[in-house]
Structure 1
């Protein structure tokens, strides 16, 4: 039977690991519980605590926080010259003068493309 007030003598590596745990922010019961494990396990606990504090819980669980975000929708493909030409032909009615301004209004294309479309429609 051990005498009252007797404490087990801790080895030097155990003291170091306990100091490391306290530096990592583990105090009180958590530091005592961590001090009862072997130093290599204590080091793993310390590195885990530091990683949780800096990167959050999801990175420790093996999940990338950026990967949990939904993927951005893919941009729609660019509208081709033929698509604009089809839209302009569908909007054209007899008696309408084909001008670049009318093509821009009918299709929503740019100024540079409207002159080319007007020329293609006129032929």
Structure 2
């Protein structure tokens, strides 16, 4: 892959095409793993759209395996992850909030846990509410 292609900016016209080209095989790899959540009666372990990817797992070990799979795929195809933009959110019922925050890594970089983050125009919150979208 050329240096110019690797540095392609998010506003580039070709980005959706290139994103789909590189992530189709990754989605097949991720979907073949025995790590799933049920979302609207469909099993999922990742979502991707418009240059953004989300990995979903009911277990910490599963999430780490999904992230490791993404990292290995990225290394194989010379794709760079933005470690500073990669974040985790711990979705728990209020009664389980006493559980300690796990440690998740992208390579050697420990990922930051946040209470909320924007995704496709919505605010995902760790308290399972959607009040930030309406404020």
Quick check: which one's strand share is greater?
2
Higher Cα Rg, which structure: 1
- Smaller-chain TM-score bracket: under 0.3
Quick check: which one's helix share is greater?
1
Give the TM-score, by structure 1 length.
Answer: 0.22
Give the TM-score, by structure 2 length.
Answer: 0.21
